[in-house]
Amino acid sequence: MDTFNIILLFIVTVALAIPLGKYIAKMFAGEKTLFDFLAPIENFFFRIAGIDAKREMNWKQSLKALLLINAIWFVWAMIALMTQTWHPFWNPDGIASMEPTQAFNTAVSFMTNTNLQHYSGETGASYFSQLFVMTFLQFVSAGTGIAALAALFRALSAKSTGNLGNFYSDMVKSCTRILLPISVVIAIFLMVNGTPATFQGASEVITSQGDTVHVAVGPVAPLVSIKQLGTNGGGYFGPNSTHPFENPNYLTNAVETIAIILIPIAMIFAFGYYLKKKKLARMIFAVMTAGYLALLIPTVISEKSGNGALEQFAVDQSQGSMEGKEVRFGAAASAMWGVSTTATSNGSVNAMHDSFTAISGTFLMLGMQLNAFFGGVGVGLINMFVFIIMAVFISGLMVGRTPEFLGKKIEAKEVKIAVVVALLHPLLILAGTAIASHTWASNSDPGANLGWLPNPGFHGFSEMLYEFTSSSANNGSGFEGLGDNTPFWNILCGIVMLMGRFIPIVGPIAIGGAFAAKRHIPESAGTLHTDTPTFGLVLFGTIVILGALLFFPALALGPIAEALSIF
C-alpha cells in the first residue's frame, strides 16, 4: 500500500504539472491567461515604484535588477529581525529581537530561498516577522528564481537578440499569477484540516494531568502553503512539518508533498512549451525522474527495512525505522518527503533527517549535492542547463564537431562559465566542511566540542557535511543534532548561502545572454540532437560521474562509514 501511495502521488503531481507548465509558458510568452485580470493591480505597484515594466532588459540589466532588489530585501529583513522587541503590534508573545549574526543568517537564508533556520520558529520570530519577513521573502525569493528562468527561456528561444524581457514584470507575475493563487488554495485546504491562521497569542491549555501549558498558534497556514509551493521550507514551528499544526494528517502530508515538487516539474514542461521543444523537455524530465527515483527507491527500502542493529535490543522494526518519525505518516511517506525535499531546494521536514538510517542519510545528502534532479522553482532547471552545456561539450568532443545547443554554437567562454558554476557547489560544501572540521578538531578544549557536536565521530562529521550541503544547495534542512546557532555557523553558512544562490544564477544567465546575441545556425546532418535517449544517457552520466568523483570521498567519511560500522 505504501508503494502504491508513493506511485500515485508522483503520477498526480505530473498530471497537475503538465497543464501548469503550459499555463506558465503562455504567461511568459505574453498570451492570454486566466489571471490577466490582475494586471491593473500589478501596474499600480509598478507605477508607485517608478518601474517601467514594459522596458526590455539585456542580461546585464536583468541581473543588476535581480541583485539590487534582493539587496533591498536583505536590508529590510535585517532591520525587522533585529527590532522585534520594538514591534508595536503583532507580537503578542513578546518575542525578543535576534542578535546580529542570527539575524544575518536568517535574512540571508530567506532571501536566498534557503530557509535554513538557526532559530525555533514559534519562539524566535514575532507574528510581524513571520508575515512581513518570512512569508514575504518566501514569495519573492521563489518569484526571483522563476523570473531568472524566464529570462533564460527568452535567451534560448531568441534567434538573435539581446533582450530577455523585464525582470521586474516576470518576478511580480510569478508571485501574483503562479504562486499566490495556488498558495491560497493550499492554505484554505490546510485551515479546513486544522492548521491555525490567527493573530491571537499562545493559547493557554490545561492538560488532563492538571498542568497549564501555552500552545503557540499564529498565522501558520499562509506561511506553510508558500513554504512548500515555493520550495522554501522554512517552518512556522521549530519541528517544521512534523508539527501537527503545520501538517495535521496523512492527507495534508500528501498535498504538501505534491506542492514541494509541483512547480519544479511544471517548469520542465513550461520549457518545452515555450521553446516549442516538447521532445527535449521530455528528455530532461526523464533524466530528472531517473535521478529522483535512484534517490527515492533505496531510501524507501532502507527506512521500511528499519535499523537491524536495534533488533538485538528487541526494538520492534516491523513498521520500519520509526525513530524521529510521525506515526500518522509512517516510514515510506517520510522517506518520500525526505527525498522530495532534498532533491528540490525545499528543506521542510516531516521527520527528523538526523534520525534516518545512515544509508538514507547518504541519499538525502546526495540529492542536494548533485542539485540537478528537479531542484528549486526556476533554479532547478537553471542548474540542469549548466550540466546540459557540459554534456553537449563532451558529446561534441566525442564526435569531433563544434558543440551546438538549440541552434547556437557553444564556445570556450560558455564552457568555462558552466564549469566554474558546476565546481562552485562542491567547493562551498567541501571547503566549508573542512574549515568546520579543522576548527572543531583544533579547539583547545576538545571535550567542550564548541557546543557543536553532541554526537562526534562519523555522525558528527555527517552533521557538519549536511549543514554545508544544505546551505550551498539553498535547501535549508539539517541534521538537527548540530548546535548551529553560533556566530561561526551563522556567518559561514550565510556566506555559503549567498554564493550558492547567486553565482549559479549569474553564470547561466550570462551564458544565456551570449546565446541570445549569437546567430542561429540551421540544423544539418551533423547536428547533435539533444532530445534523444542517447543524449539523455550522456547527460545523466555527466551528472552522476561528476557527483561521484566530487562527493564520494566526503560521504565515505560520514554516512557510508557510519553504515559500515553498524553492519
Task: Name the residue range of residue 382's domain.
Answer: 2-566
Q: Report the percent of the chain where pLDDT is more than 70.
A: 95
DSSP 323-346: TTB-TTTHHHHHHHHHHHHHHTT-
SS3 453: coil
- Paired with 351 in beta bridges are 325
pLDDT digits (tens, 9 = 90+) for 132-182: 999 999 999 999 999 999 999 999 887 656 788 899 999 999 999 999 999
CA-closest candidate to residue 463, choices 447, 443, 440, 446: 440
Residue 521 above 80 pLDDT? no
Neighbours of 21 (CB within 10 A): 24
Residue 376 above 80 pLDDT? yes
Whole-number pLDDT of residue 444 = 52
Whole-number pLDDT of residue 490 = 94
Averaged pLDDT for residues 410-429:
92
Residue 226 above 80 pLDDT? yes
Whole-number pLDDT of residue 160 = 59
Whole-number pLDDT of residue 145 = 95
Mean pLDDT of the chain: 89
Residue whose C-alpha cell reads 501555552 in the numeric block = 214
Whole-number pLDDT of residue 92 = 79
pLDDT digits (tens, 9 = 90+) for 33-86: 989 999 999 999 999 989 998 899 999 999 999 999 999 999 999 999 999 988
525: confidence class by pLDDT, cuts 50, 70, 90: low
In angstroms, what is the C-alpha Rg of the chain? 23
Most confident of 89-93, 173-177, 215-219: 173-177
Averaged pLDDT for residues 9-33:
95
pLDDT digits (tens, 9 = 90+) for 298-343: 999 999 887 767 766 667 777 888 888 888 898 899 999 999 999 9
- CA 90 to chain CA centroid, nearest Å: 29
Residue 445 above 80 pLDDT? no
- Paired with 213 in beta bridges are 205
Round to whole Å and give the CA distance between 281 and 13: 16
In the chain, the number of structural domains is 1
* Least confidently predicted of 46-55, 517-526, 541-550: 517-526
Round to whole Å and give the CA distance between 92 and 117: 22
Neighbours of 399 (CB within 10 A): 9
Averaged pLDDT for residues 405-416:
87
Whole-number pLDDT of residue 314 = 66
